[in-house]
């Protein structure tokens, strides 16, 4: 017999169009919204791969009006404000973001801020005092990395790097993209180091959502499904399988699931640390997650063991992921410790094999720990951690 289902909420999800080559459906969908399009794209890679030329050609063929803006780094409030101000006075029916997490988030933020007159800073959690009202220009997201899952989340992360830095979210249920087109062919050209960092981010999101204190059977189903597809493909995606559509498809699916799950189940200590670390230092979000995941998971498991019977349900969730990695979709109670070890050892092996940078590689030192820890949060971490516990995670990845 299974447990009582606790009350839960589950936000709506984007209409999803998933599969290799599905970019072409974009041109059929645009008229559902109108004729005037703003593309939010990244720096070079979309152009280098020839995809951008192909898009321009198709847009011209269909006689759609369109313009584009480029996002070359994690989006700042001033960049979003500037673009929103520029397009506020123009006719715009739909915004289309094609890129990694930064681009997807930027497009989401622009679509949300065009109907406002003031700065996005006023609406950021923990920064401003106003609450977003959910008004926006319709938004279509096409990810070119498998990482943040932003194509399915209700928040856009806005960064300011430096001593008074932050990484904070603009968040509203209505900011979930109207449509997510996930075309793994767009991800084929993603280089190994970015694939690795993004992959570790998505895996972290799936694992943290699966063991979160705020799960539901719905998030558990999707997180498990995402983990199932990602576990065997994260290493190939960064190595021998980087040109294999099958591998990229599995990673893209895992990333999509991670976005839906984090939006509904929440995250844990790794993401609770990623926010201040990313605010203080110029370090890619995926690297922070990738570098901390194994250590944080090891510590969470230790702390859960110390709690005895009370920690058992969350330990079991961890063990289920270990069993899945070991190729078993169920496990006998007696083997829980074995599967917990498999989980930790696998994450450690991935961190090493994918050559995930350490925190010190980005100028972070032990002197920075206090300010990082002070601004960190546990989010929905499955077990309470003390400041000293968190310090240990950081120290082991310096």
Tell me which stretch binds a second copy (CB under 8 A): 36-44, 245-253, 338-346, 384-392.
245-253
Among 222, 280, 350, 369, indicate the residue that binds a second copy (CB under 8 A). 222
Tell me which stretch binds a second copy (CB under 8 A): 97-105, 139-147, 323-331, 352-360.
323-331
Q: How is 104-172 classified by DSSP, letter by letter?
A: HHHHHHHHHHTT-SS-GGGGSTTT-SPPP------EEEEESSSSS-GGG-SEEEEEE-STT-EEEEEE-
**Nearer to a second copy (CB atom), residue 195 or residue 216:** 216
Q: How far is the CB of 369 from a second copy (least distance, A)?
A: 39
Please tell me whether residue 82 binds a second copy under the rule CB under 8 A.
Answer: no
* Rounded CA separation 349/365 (Å): 24
**Nearer to a second copy (CB atom), residue 186 or residue 373:** 186
* Rounded CA separation 323/329 (Å): 6
**Residue 109: CB partners within 8 Å, gap ≥ 6?**
75, 80, 84, 120, 156, 158, 170
* Rounded CA separation 160/77 (Å): 8
Q: How far is the CB of 199 from a second copy (least distance, A)?
A: 16
Sign of the torsion angle spanned by Cα atoms 39, 41, 47, 51: negative
Picking from 67, 119, 70, the residue whose alpha carbon sits closest to that of residue 94 is 67
Q: Rounded to a whole number, what is the distance in angstroms from the first to the last CA of the chain?
A: 45
Among 70, 76, 214, 225, indicate the residue that binds a second copy (CB under 8 A). 225
Picking from 66, 76, 88, the residue whose alpha carbon sits closest to that of residue 124 is 76
Please tell me whether residue 61 binds a second copy under the rule CB under 8 A.
Answer: no
Please tell me whether residue 217 binds a second copy under the rule CB under 8 A.
Answer: yes
Bridge-based pairing of strands 155-160 and 166-171 is: antiparallel
Query: For the window 276-315, what string marks contact with a second copy as x by the rule CB under 8 A?
Result: ----------------------------------------
Please tell me whether residue 246 binds a second copy under the rule CB under 8 A.
Answer: yes
Site for a second copy in 16-45 (CB under 8 A): 16-22
Please tell me whether residue 68 binds a second copy under the rule CB under 8 A.
Answer: no
Please give the DSSP secondary-structure letter assigned to residue 239: T
Q: How far is the CB of 88 from a second copy (least distance, A)?
A: 25
Among 108, 168, 172, 228, indicate the residue that binds a second copy (CB under 8 A). 228
Chain residues that interact with a second copy, rule: CB under 8 A = 1-2, 4-22, 173, 216-218, 220-222, 224-225, 228-229, 232, 246, 249-250, 253, 328-330
């Amino acid at each position: 017999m299974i447990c009582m289902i606790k009350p839960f909420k589950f936000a709506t999800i984007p209409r999803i169009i998933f599969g290799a080559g599905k970019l072409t459906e974009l041109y059929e969908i645009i008229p559902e919204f109108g004729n005037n399009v703003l593309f939010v794209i990244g720096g070079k890679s979309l152009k280098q791969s020839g995809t951008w030329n192909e898009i321009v050609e198709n847009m011209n063929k269909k006689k759609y009006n369109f313009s584009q803006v480029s996002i070359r780094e994690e989006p700042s409030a001033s960049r979003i404000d500037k673009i929103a101000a520029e397009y506020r006075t123009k006719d715009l029916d739909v915004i289309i973001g094609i890129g990694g997490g930064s681009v997807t988030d930027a497009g989401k933020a622009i679509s949300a801020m065009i109907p406002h007159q003031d700065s996005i800073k006023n609406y950021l959690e923990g920064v401003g005092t106003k609450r977003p009202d959910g008004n926006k220009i319709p938004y279509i997201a096409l990810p070119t990395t498998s990482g943040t899952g932003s194509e399915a989340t209700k928040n856009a992360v806005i960064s300011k790097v430096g001593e008074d830095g932050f990484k904070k979210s603009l968040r509203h249920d209505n900011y979930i993209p109207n449509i997510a087109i996930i075309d793994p062919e767009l991800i084929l050209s993603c280089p190994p180091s970015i694939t690795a960092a993004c992959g570790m981010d998505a895996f972290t999101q799936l694992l943290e959502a699966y063991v979160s204190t705020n799960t539901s059977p719905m998030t558990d189903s999707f997180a498990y499904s995402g983990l199932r597809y990602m576990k065997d493909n994260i290493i190939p995606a960064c190595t021998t399988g980087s040109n294999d559509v099958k591998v990229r498809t599995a990673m893209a699916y895992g990333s999509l699931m991670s976005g839906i799950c984090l939006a509904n189940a929440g995250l844990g200590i790794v993401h609770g640390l990623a926010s201040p670390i990313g605010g203080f230092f110029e370090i890619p979000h995926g690297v922070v997650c990738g570098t901390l995941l194994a250590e944080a998971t090891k510590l969470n498991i230790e702390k859960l063991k110390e709690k005895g019977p009370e920690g058992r349900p969350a330990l079991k969730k961890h063990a289920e992921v270990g069993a899945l990695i070991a190729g078993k979709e169920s496990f006998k109670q007696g083997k829980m410790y074995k599967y917990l070890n498999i989980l930790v050892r696998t994450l450690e092996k991935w961190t090493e094999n994918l050559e995930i940078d350490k925190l010190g590689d980005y100028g972070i030192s032990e002197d920075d720990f206090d300010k990082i820890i002070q601004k960190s949060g546990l989010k929905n971490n499955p077990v309470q951690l003390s400041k000293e516990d968190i310090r240990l995670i950081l120290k082991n990845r310096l």
